Structure 1
């Protein structure tokens, strides 16, 4: 009997033959889906089962959306603890391998993305990056502090290394913004995730390294986006690219369960990025940003389809890491109130115009 992606047949086949769970014919559909977990769900999803937290449940729901067989598979394995453990380990290994491949690709290309074409220096050692190098430090510096950084780069970097200046995951790094962006405390999300450096990392991951610099793809093999049927940029892939970019620019040597550099925790950073898109998915900034980024990815341009608003996942926000994150939410609420007020005023104006017309008719 040929192996199938039907989970019940998978379990039966494993028991009836003495094959290991590594057999690619049996595991292929699951491993294929697992490799999409970091880029489409979370690079920090370690548990295959839905956990007790809301974040765990959301991650599992997203995974099962593109691998619907997984829920049946887990139920089928309930009476086979050893097989379930091995199966889960293989899923996690595939996901971690995909994340590591992206990390390696981004790390190798970092120098090309941050240096001008005239520069030839290559940041081979991770210890030379982060707040130990003026180029990477400037990219990691929150936009709100960039003027202070440029006034005295060495002093600013030293203060960050000593912890005198605390850079946190709630402050948006300048590499996420265009090079000429100016910090606007009243409109913090203007230009966010539209930076040239960030776009190169985003393309590297989803449409391949050859497309990263100029957005023109010439590789023969299908890209990650094409392999997994991605036709539009969504919030979690933006967050994943931001995390991979930060990790590549930083001096963090190894990817751990929650990698951090100083006070900047990448797990928190990922959550903050995701929340900007998922907490309030109907905010005009969300649609504008995702539309703009979709047009920047070459293999998505051809089959671009606008995502329906009803497809957006809405989750609650964790406010434990406030600062610029909550400031953006407050600014969005203010914009909504302004739009509502404008709508009421327009209705009032129209009503007044109708009354004037009636008075004219009465006089006639």
Structure 2
């Protein structure tokens, strides 16, 4: 089993526990996966492109008049408190669900909500010492598949191409690595994930550190 298959299998069920539901959202069971995507309001809010949040777009999507492609950043990539429809980069790659999935992949499922990890995590085994755009892109792909209706992994989800999605995110970080917005974003991630600098310890509780406490506590 590949690493991608392993992570896909674990995240597809656990991701439901990491979604922020509104009070009036109907219950969403972990199975079948066909209930996700645009079929449930909570996953619909996350999987639709950030700039298309109105019901008219949803109607056009269901009628096949528009389509979602890899260049359409899904809303889960954004922190809704910072997102700005007039600025596609505002709040990008700081969304709650993206962060939960990132921690689950690199530090174990329990870290997604608790802020704790132990040695022998993926990050530890691979000697990771900083967050890169490729790490974020991988987590984004897993998150997007997790909230989709697809039961089995496929590089294509309708017109949405996961390989292109991954590449688009990597290019965002690597095409202009010295751009201030890119530098600031990676600095934010590497401040937000201080446990990268404590991998030699047996256990580190980063729920007690600044950015984690500000966002989750």
TM range (shorter): 0.7 to 0.9
Matched position secondary structure for 1:144: coil
Q: Is the 8 A contact 1:240 1:270 kept in 2?
A: yes
Residue in 2 that maps onto 1:245: 143
Give distance in 1, aligned partners of 2:135 and 2:177.
15
Q: Does 1:177 align with 2:75?
A: no
**Contact 1:294–1:301 under 8 Å retained in 2:** no
Q: Does 1:227 find its partner at 2:89? A: no
Superposed displacement of residue 249, structure 1: 0.7
CA contact (8 A) 2:80 2:91 kept: no
Q: CA deviation at 1:174?
A: 0.8
Question: 1:167 maps to what in 2?
Answer: 68
In the alignment, structure 1 residue 140 sits paired with structure 2 residue 36: no
Secondary structure of 1:251 counterpart: coil
Which of 193, 197, 201 is the equivalent residue of 2:93? 193
What's the CA shift string for 1:81-140, capped at 9, x where partnerless?
Answer: xxxxxxxxxxxxxxx521111111211111111144978632311211112221111101
Aligned residue number for residue 266 of structure 1: 162
Shift of 1:263: 2.1
Distance apart, 1:301 and its partner CA: 4.2
Q: Distance in 1 between matches of 2:38 and 2:85?
A: 24
For the residues of structure 2 that align with 1:117 and 1:132, how far apart are their CA atoms? 15
Gaps of 5+ in 2: 200-217
For the 8 Å contact 1:252–1:259, the answer to whether it is kept is: no
Cα distance in 2 between the residues matched to 1:293 and 1:299: 11
C-alpha distance in 2 between matches for 1:130 and 1:233 = 28
Q: Deviations over 1:283-336 (max 9, x none)?
A: 112221112112333531436xxxxxxxxxxxxxxxxxxxxxxxxxxxxxxxxx
CA contact under 8 A between 1:243 and 1:269: conserved in structure 2?
yes
Distance of 2:22 and 2:10 partners within structure 1? 19
Structure 2 distance, partners of 1:158, 1:132, is 12
**DSSP-derived class of the 2:190 partner:** helix
Q: Which runs of 5+ in 1 are unaligned?
A: 1-95, 304-364
**Corresponding residue of 1:56:** none
Higher relative helix content: 1
Q: Aligned equivalents of 2:106 and 2:18: distance in 1?
A: 16
The offset of 1:265, in angstroms, is 1.3
Separation in structure 2 between the aligned mates of residue 182 and residue 299 of structure 1, nearest angstrom: 27
Residues in 1 aligned to 2:44 and 2:142: alpha-carbon distance in whole angstroms:
16
Which residue in the other structure is 2:175 paired with?
279
What is the aligned partner in structure 2 of residue 61 from structure 1? none
Query: How big is the shift at 1:224?
Result: 0.5
Distance 1:161 1:295 in 2: 41
Distance 1:112 1:294 in 2: 25
The 8 Å contact of residues 45 and 75 in structure 2, kept in 1 or not, is answered as yes
Deviations 1:319-357 (A, max 9, x none): xxxxxxxxxxxxxxxxxxxxxxxxxxxxxxxxxxxxxxx
Q: 12, 20, 24: which one pairs with 1:107?
A: 12
Between the two structures, name the one with larger relative contact order (CA 8 Å, sep ≥ 6).
2
Q: Structure 2 matches for 1:53-92, cutoff 5 A?
A: none
Using the size of structure 1 for normalisation, the TM-score is 0.50
C-alpha distance in 2 between matches for 1:141 and 1:130: 8
